[in-house]
Structure 1
Amino acid sequence: MGSNSAASISDRFLETAADNLRIAKILVQMGLDPNNITYDTLLDRLLEIVLANITLANMLALVGAIFLVATLLMHTIVPLRVASMLGCMFFVAYGALSGNVGAFILYLLLLPINAIRLRQILNLIKRARIATEGDTSLELLKPFMTERRYRRGDKLFRKNDAASEMFLTVTGTFLVKEISVELPPGRLMGELGFLTPNQRRTATVECIEDGQVMTITYEKLLEIFFQNPQFGYYCLVLTSQRLLENISRLEGIIAQGKAARQTLASDDIA
């Protein structure tokens, strides 16, 4: 009863729509009689059209469209480029089978562009991974650095001083006074000032054994940072390690303070 009622309502709606001249033309183009149109005849005709157009070329275009639409839902670049390449490949095949020269040329050109971009991204990821495995970026810096020597007792910089350069220790020993940490040869220092918003020194560094350092200005460092992703990622890793070391050192100081208070409390009770 309900289905018959719905069908009759649909038929009346189609009859009303068929009175519109534009809709009537569309129905005629579909091979339907606007004066004798029902829900069943329209559904049957649409099914005939769909079945008549199920060809290998159209199926390839459908799969290609699914891949290209999927790229709009992806959040990372590598799978996006892979899906885009697959979509282009299916559309190239569609253009070749259907004789659609425009589609064939368009997606044939897009295919190598996506392939080149994918390779660039993979190389970037590879360089970033290499950057976390060693100090290869330090070799990159040395041609841009200037040699400087310090004697025992010299201050390289003081806490809250304006920061304008980064240092690489070559020989000698240097002391970070606020946290009593010695820096042997091969260590970077002053990199945190490069990343702080106001570019101020976060600690005082003093030479405690005559030595040599290499320096590089932040301006040159910023230029290399943007030109070389490997070095940029290395800086992020280095800064993260330094912050984790500071947190670990702070936790140790807090633990020592708690232990000292507990000892004092025990002595008072005794």
Structure 2
Amino acid sequence: MSVVANLLFITYGGLAHSMPVLVLHLMLLPLNVFRLVEIFRTTRLIRAAQPSDGLPISITAYFKIVEKPADAVLFRRGDPADSVYYLKSGRILLEEINQEMQVGEIFGEVAFFSKSHVRTLTARCISKCEIAAISEAEFTRLFYQDPAFGFFILRLLAERLDDNMARACTDHSDHAQHKPV
């Protein structure tokens, strides 16, 4: 919209012989074109950021690889949050909800967004695992500075919320069916 306004004011400034208007909008036009290109580029990156796609390539350099043996507890419910994790290989169980994390999934991010800033579940390695970890400071910096990563995390959180709601509805209907009459 600003590019169109610049073009109209340039036309007006030229036809009306108004040098201040003409010079101002000739100077603003390249800036507004540059900003428009940036908006389109960012929008394309945001649309491409999907939780099911694994880690966005732009952030893989910030992760540190750690190996954990089978039966190791990565974190317990109530522990303070210090890292977000990405499962490269192996199997991890989120004990309280009996859900297994799949290779390529990010987990542990919910605690960073909760008011208490503590883990909401316990994560235990079912088998030997190779895990990529990112510190809270790096995660927070990337979340605010990289729009594609920020939207990737927001979509992931929305997906987790949908899953939790579906699980709660299923649990509620199971309890209602087994209720004595």
Give the TM-score normalised by the residue count of structure 2: 0.93
Which position in structure 1 is the counterpart of 2:170?
Answer: 252
**Change in CA separation of 1:153 and 1:142 when aligned onto 2, cut-off 3 Å:** same
CA-CA distance at 1:101 after TM superposition: 1.4
CA-CA distance at 1:86 after TM superposition: 2.0
The count of aligned residue pairs is 181
Q: Please tell me whether residue 209 in structure 1 is matched to residue 124 in structure 2.
A: no
Gaps of 5+ in 2: none
Which position in structure 1 is the counterpart of 2:137?
Answer: 219
Which position in structure 1 is the counterpart of 2:33?
Answer: 115
CA-CA distance at 1:133 after TM superposition: 7.3
**Change in CA separation of 1:113 and 1:141 when aligned onto 2, cut-off 3 Å:** closer
CA-CA distance at 1:250 after TM superposition: 0.9
Which position in structure 1 is the counterpart of 2:88?
Answer: 170
Gaps of 5+ in 1: 1-81, 266-270
Q: Please tell me whether residue 132 in structure 1 is matched to residue 50 in structure 2.
A: yes
1:236 to 147, 154, 164: 154
Give the TM-score normalised by the residue count of structure 1: 0.63
Distance in 2, Cα, partners of 1:233 & 1:219: 18
Matches within 5 A, 1:10-159: 82=1, 84-132=2-50, 134-135=52-53, 137-159=55-77
**Change in CA separation of 1:105 and 1:221 when aligned onto 2, cut-off 3 Å:** same
* One-letter amino acid matched to 2:15: L
Percent sequence identity is 27
Q: Is the 8 A contact 2:78 2:118 kept in 1?
A: yes
Distance in 2, Cα, partners of 1:166 & 1:133: 14
**Change in CA separation of 1:150 and 1:225 when aligned onto 2, cut-off 3 Å:** same
* One-letter amino acid matched to 1:117: R
**Change in CA separation of 1:252 and 1:143 when aligned onto 2, cut-off 3 Å:** same
Q: Please tell me whether residue 190 in structure 1 is matched to residue 116 in structure 2.
A: no
* One-letter amino acid matched to 2:25: Y
Secondary structure at 1:95 match in 2: helix
Which position in structure 2 is the counterpart of 1:20?
Answer: none
Distance in 2, Cα, partners of 1:177 & 1:162: 17
* One-letter amino acid matched to 2:176: K
More helix per residue: 1
Secondary structure at 2:96 match in 1: coil
Q: Is the 8 A contact 1:137 1:230 kept in 2?
A: no
Distance in 1, Cα, partners of 2:102 & 2:29: 52
